[in-house]
Amino acid sequence: MDYQKLFYIFSTLSELGEEVTSSQTFPITIQKSLYMILGALSITRGAILTRGKAQNQLTLVAHKGLKKEEPQAMEISPDLEAFLLSQKKIFLTGGRQKEFRNFFQSVTGVWPRLKTVLGLPLTCKGEWVGLICLGPKLDEAPYTPMEKNVLTLLGHHIANALHSQQLIEALNEQVKENLKMVEDLRYIYDDTIRAFAAAIDAKDPYTKGHSYRVAMYAVAIGKELGYGDQVLEGFYVAGLLHDVGKIIVDKDIINKKKHLSSKEFGKIMEHTQAGYQILSAIRFPWADVPLMAKSHHEKLDGLGYPEGLRGDQIADGAKIICLADAFDAMTSHRPYRHRLGFERTIKEIKKNVNVQFEKRIVRAFFSVLKKEIEGKLHEQKIIPNLDEHFNPQIIHSFLELTIAELS
Amino acid sequence: MKNFKVSQDQQGDVILFKAQGYLNDLGGEEVERLFKKAVKEGYRKFVLDFGKIAYINSIGVSFLVGIVEATREKGLKVCFTALSTINAELFEMVGLTKFAVTLPSNREAVEFLKTA
């Protein structure tokens, strides 16, 4: 090999090294790598194969000399696969060994256009990562020992590229699996919380589905206020669990049809503090879930419970849960009263702006209601939960007027 | 491909491809694609003008090997023209000139192919 040829081979080797470490996508890198090998020794056609996803299969990752419609993979027998995986050195057609003959017959059977005369196993760190099938050279002369050495050198670079790609694919698979597992866990988590909320609501037949509705309303209000998905998820969970403290309250008190005595009401009030204690033991990924449960009966005027907090002392999330909770309570039957109805409820809420509810939050809530009536929201979270017929025009006018007043 | 273009022209029954820039990336596949398309359309005589080619590497050579192999298999005629000294040496070294004529200009190549 003269110095010019040697220089050309070195240039190719250097460019190939650069290529396999470039930031190009794998299909481009591998295709260019094949062209480099072919161009380096004036080889007319060739292909790079790796093990397919299925057992006993070799898949094309790059080729030259094949048409688009030709098969993308070839089946091989388990014996032949095992044999190929054990090969570390170049092998040529015409050899005596039966397995080599089988291999060339198989490749030619699937891809006759390749005219494969040489197989170059690709190994990286002792591991088989693929195979290059090469056709004849342009001058149809046999491959010389020097050319086989050149191919082996170039093959090392391609083997590294394939190995990296296989690692990336394995990593991607692992990430996918992990994401799926996280998703499954989320479902389990969500279902568990909902089941827990249902269990709380089951203490009182009148509050069936209450926690779920509060969660939905809280999310709708939070979204209107511009909170991001992570915070909204916290509102959702807090909505589901805001009454968890009722677990300590006697069922008879909860279901009592007559007015509660001050002692009984005191017991009811304890559910906020109890809820806080129960939820504080859980490491939620969202801030303030226990606090939202504790403060959802606080009022802006300081006359709420358990701490008598005022205005800005109450967390935003708690104010949202408070409004969602009150809205659902007023639009639902209770053992001691009939529901107020949608129209009366929103009027009652308006009346309590700056007393129990914050103006900004009521405005956001009314705005969601208005949008739902107008059919402007992709997903309705409130109106479908109201088990009553109402005059949308009257409600809409009221909401529009009130929103303007509160602005 | 940073900078590669190929245009096609025709003089009688000869198809002329004028390449420009760097023949060292996947963009160079276009030369082989246009060549094979012209072969399919029935043309048998070709000139590849390398006058404005700055650099050719092994990727570029692989496309030219594909073209030369097709001309040999199908009994076509191809001339390479306007090769720089370095590209002429490269073509010689990789064996392309064994199967294709190299001539200084397109005019000479077209003349040559008329009688081929």
Q: How far apart are the first and last CA of chain B?
A: 35
Provide the b/e sequence for A237-268 (b: ≥16 CB within 10 Å): bbbbbbbbbbeebeeebbebeeeeeeebeebb
The CATH H-level (homologous superfamily) assignment of domain A3-168 is: GAF domain (3.30.450.40)
Nearest-CA residue of chain A relative to B58?
Answer: A39
What does the DSSP assignment read for B39-72?
HHTT--EEEEEEEEEEEE-HHHHHHHHHHHHHHH
Q: Is A150 on the interface with B (CB under 8 A)?
A: no
| A38 chain-B contacts, CB cut-off 8 A | 58, 62, 65
Q: Do B62 and A139 touch (CB under 8 A)?
A: no
According to DSSP, the residues that pair with B17 across neighbouring strands are: B8, B48
Which pTM does this prediction carry?
0.67
The verdict on A11 touching B (C-beta cutoff 8 Å) is yes
User: How many CB pairs below 8 Å do chains A and B form together?
Assistant: 66
Element (H, E) at B101: strand B101-103
From CA A138, how far away is CA A196, in angstroms rounded? 75
Q: How many domains does chain B have?
A: 1
Interchain contact A138–B (C-beta under 8 A): yes
Do residues A235 and A216 lie in contact, with contact meaning Cβ atoms separated by under 8 Å? no
What is the model's pLDDT at position B1?
44
Question: Cα–chain-centroid distance for residue A175?
Answer: 10
Q: Which residues on B lie below 8 Å from A45 (Cβ)?
A: 66
Q: Judge whether A82 is closer than 8 Å to chain B, CB to CB.
A: no
Whether the CB of A343 is below 8 Å from some CB of chain B: the reply is no
**Which two structure tokens, joined as six digits, stand for A80?**
């032949």
| Helix axes of A229-241 and A210-224: crossing angle, nearest 10 degrees | 150
Domain(s) labelled CATH 1.10.3210.10 in chain A stretch across 177-406
- Whether B52 maps to a domain, the answer reads yes
Class level of CATH domain A177-406: mainly alpha
* Cβ within 8 Å, pair A139-B60: no
Tell me the mean pLDDT per 10 residues along chain B, length 116.
84 95 91 95 96 94 96 95 95 95 96 89
Q: Is A284 on the interface with B (CB under 8 A)?
A: no
Residue B116 maps to a domain: no
Interface mutation vs chain A, best among B30, B37, B65, most A CBs within 10 Å? B65
Interchain proximity A8–B58, CB inside 8 Å:
yes
ipTM for the predicted complex comes to 0.95
pLDDT by residue, tens only, chain A of 407 residues: 688 889 999 999 999 998 888 888 889 999 999 999 999 999 999 999 998 777 788 999 999 999 989 999 999 888 888 888 888 889 888 877 888 888 899 999 999 999 999 999 998 888 888 999 999 999 999 999 999 999 999 999 999 988 888 899 889 999 999 999 999 998 998 888 888 888 888 877 777 889 999 999 999 999 999 999 999 999 999 999 999 999 888 888 888 878 888 899 899 999 999 999 999 988 888 878 999 999 999 999 999 999 999 999 999 999 999 999 999 999 988 777 788 888 899 999 999 999 999 999 999 999 999 999 998 888 888 888 887 788 889 999 999 999 999 98
Q: Across the interface, do B66 and A36 touch by the CB < 8 Å criterion?
A: no
Query: How many residues make up chain A in this entry?
Result: 407
Specify whether the CB–CB gap between A37 and A151 falls below 8 A: yes
Rounded Cα–Cα distance for residues B3 and A400 (Å): 62
Q: Which three-class secondary structure state does DSSP give residue B80?
A: strand
Say if CB A210 and CB A199 are below 8 A apart: no
A5, A32, A42 ranked by CB distance to B61: nearest: A42
pLDDT score at A1 = 62
Could you identify the residue written with the tokens 């048998």? B44
List pLDDT tens digits, range A30-40: 999 999 999 99
**CATH number assigned to the domain comprising residue B74:** 3.30.750.24
Q: How far is A97 from chain B (nearest CA, A)?
A: 31
Whether B111 is in a domain gets the answer no
Cβ–Cβ < 8 Å for A41, A137: yes
Give the one of A12, A31, A64 whose C-beta lies nearest to B58's C-beta: A12
B110 belongs to a structural domain: no
